[in-house]
Amino acid sequence: MDFYRLTASELSKLLREGACTSQEVTQSVFERIDAVEDKVGAYITLNREGALAAAKAVDERRAKGEALHPLAGIPLGIKDNIVTKDLLTTCASRMLYNFVPPYEATVVKKLDACGMIPIGKLNMDEFAMGSSTETSYFKKTRNPRDLSCVPGGSSGGSAAAVCAGEAVLALGSDTGGSIRQPAAYCGVIGLKPTYGSVSRYGLVAFASSLDQIGPIGRSVTDVSMLYQALCGHDPMDATSAARSYEDFTANLSPDLSGRVIGIPKEYFGAGVDEDVKKIVLDAAAKLKEAGAALKEISLPSTDYALGAYYIISSAEASSNLARFDGVKYGYRTAQYENLTDMYERTRSEGFGDEVKRRIMLGTFVLSSGYYDAYYKRAKLMQQRIAAEFAQAFEGCDVILTPTAPSRAFRLGEKLDDPLKMYAGDLCTVTVNIAGLPAISLPCPVGAGNLPVGMQLIGPKFSEQTLLNTAFGYEQLMGGSLVEVPQL
């Protein structure tokens, strides 16, 4: 049986009933990887031996009658900027080509405790800087829906693996749309949680005030199950929120009656393809037919969000990446004359063009004479954007937008034009700037067409409302939004 085609919730039921073993499920996923990985290129490192050993251990515990987590025995791919003890963690960079961490991220510990099976480390844009997974030092990942197209980024490997059946679930990270945009391009479901709801301990930092780990899956229930396992306070993360969380999966409801959905005009204007607008608005009409109310709203500072985002994120990247100097770990240049020369050569050779571009931009906006003109203004804009969202949510429960302004573009199409690439984050960066949760799910587009994503945005810690709205839409569409392509 092709277990790799099933969702986590379906596999959980089969495992619980004894209809299959975790070893069989894990082997099915590896067989799928062997069959299609040379086409897709989703993984940097495979954990075949460790995964099969973990699956065997879960089967033995189940045979003894132990009470196991619903996700026990489910194969999972992990983005390669989330540290895994004794397993290579590269951030898709030459700078960390040989880095094997002596510790693991809190989220990895949590999923180990659940009995999930770590299949391997997934490709990404270098240090999560990119929107196409083309800036990886190791390889380019392809979109399983059309191998001539990008899978999105920076979590392109995560979305592609789930789409292609090379993982049942995956972890991504989202700094300005890096879970949601590739989920939209690959036609899967991705959740960017509220900032602070999931520990960032062990996530290699890009922009610390914006980064957030989140789940990618093939059903809303799967995403809900994985988020349930990830969220919670962590004393190792100073930005972790100390609060209780709902049982998201148990509370899933498709009832949309009375839900007020905001439609912001700025997200359906210039820069968004006409067919994307139509498809997303058609999806909104379906929600209205099911009992939701649609309300036109305005978020006037949206036009300034991209500029603010790239100033803030680059400034933080400039600071965070200063630690990679060739002294303690990672890449070090082979020839140098003195310590300063070693620093310069190591960083010049170890970082790719996009990472160096953002480091230089970040250093510039933080420099004397430019801080007030750029960084300070961007931070003030961040406050304004957050305030506009807060005001909008006084009159609606969720906000609906396209996830990306276009469908997936072809490999190489925007690689030499950074501004065009950055424009692809138009619909997603505001969520990170305001620290809000958002989910992307695919809309019906017809056979043979590339996916289009619909984004639902909620107030802070409103994941249950977002998941319920997404679940309601999923049920309206027949209960299945995602199918694994043949390849």
pLDDT (tens digit per residue) in 84-129: 999 999 999 999 999 999 999 999 999 999 999 999 999 999 999 9
Average confidence (pLDDT) over 383-388: 98
pLDDT of residue 480: 79
Q: Is residue 361 part of a domain?
A: yes
pLDDT in tens, 349-369: 999 999 999 999 999 999 988
Average confidence (pLDDT) over 140-148: 98
pLDDT in tens, 56-84: 999 999 999 999 999 999 999 999 999 99
Average confidence (pLDDT) over 25-30: 98
- Structure tokens given for 255: 């009832």
Which of 346, 379, 412 represents a domain boundary (last residue)? 379
Domain housing 244: 3-259+401-476
Known active-site residue 440: no
pLDDT of residue 423: 87
Which of 379, 413, 435 represents a domain boundary (last residue)? 379
Q: Given the residues 9, 155, 178, 199, select the one marked as catalytic.
A: 178
The CA dihedral of 111, 114, 117, 118, to the nearest 10 degrees, is: 10
Q: Given the residues 131, 132, 154, 440, select the one marked as catalytic.
A: 154
Q: Is the pLDDT of residue 154 over 80?
A: yes
Q: Is the pLDDT of residue 47 over 80?
A: yes
Average confidence (pLDDT) over 371-391: 97
Same domain, 175 and 142: yes
Same domain, 310 and 438: no
pLDDT in tens, 294-304: 999 999 999 99
Same domain, 364 and 230: no
pLDDT of residue 335: 95
* CA 484/CA 487 separation, integer angstroms: 9
Q: Is residue 65 part of a domain?
A: yes
* CA 197/CA 245 separation, integer angstroms: 9
The single residue listed with the structure tokens 């959980």 is: 12
- Structure tokens given for 197: 């709801």
Which region, left, alpha or beta, applies to residue 66 given φ > 0 means left and ψ of -120 to 50 means alpha? beta
Same domain, 49 and 184: yes
Q: What is the DSSP letter of 371?
A: I
Q: Given the residues 79, 192, 414, 460, select the one marked as catalytic.
A: 79
Q: Is residue 296 part of a domain?
A: no
Same domain, 174 and 253: yes
- Structure tokens given for 131: 């929107």
Same domain, 372 and 417: no
Domain count, the chain: 2
Same domain, 335 and 236: no
Same domain, 129 and 226: yes
Q: Is residue 481 part of a domain?
A: no
Q: Is residue 265 part of a domain?
A: no
Which of 314, 346, 379 represents a domain boundary (last residue)? 379
* CA 44/CA 58 separation, integer angstroms: 25
| CATH number for the domain that contains residue 103 | 3.90.1300.10
Asked if 241 contacts 233 with a C-beta cutoff of 8 angstroms, the reply is: yes
pLDDT of residue 5: 97
Q: Is the pLDDT of residue 418 over 90?
A: no
Same domain, 372 and 433: no
Known active-site residue 460: no
Same domain, 132 and 63: yes
φ, ψ at 310 (rounded to 5°): -70, -25
pLDDT band at 479 (very low <50, low <70, confident <90, very high): confident
Q: Which residues pair with 120 in a beta bridge?
A: 46, 77
pLDDT in tens, 419-477: 889 988 999 999 999 999 999 999 998 777 899 999 999 999 999 999 999 999 999 99
Mean pLDDT of the residues in the chain: 97
In this structure, of 175-184, 329-338, 398-407, 474-483, the range with the lowest mean pLDDT score is: 474-483
Q: Is residue 297 part of a domain?
A: no
Average confidence (pLDDT) over 220-226: 98
DSSP string, 23-38: HHHHHHHHHHHHHHHH
Known active-site residue 12: no
Same domain, 312 and 410: no
pTM of the model: 0.97
Q: Which residues pair with 143 in a beta bridge?
A: 146
Average confidence (pLDDT) over 146-173: 98
Same domain, 446 and 321: no
Q: Is the pLDDT of residue 1 over 90?
A: no
Asked if 413 contacts 282 with a C-beta cutoff of 8 angstroms, the reply is: no
Half-sphere exposure of 467 (CA within 13 A, CB side): 29
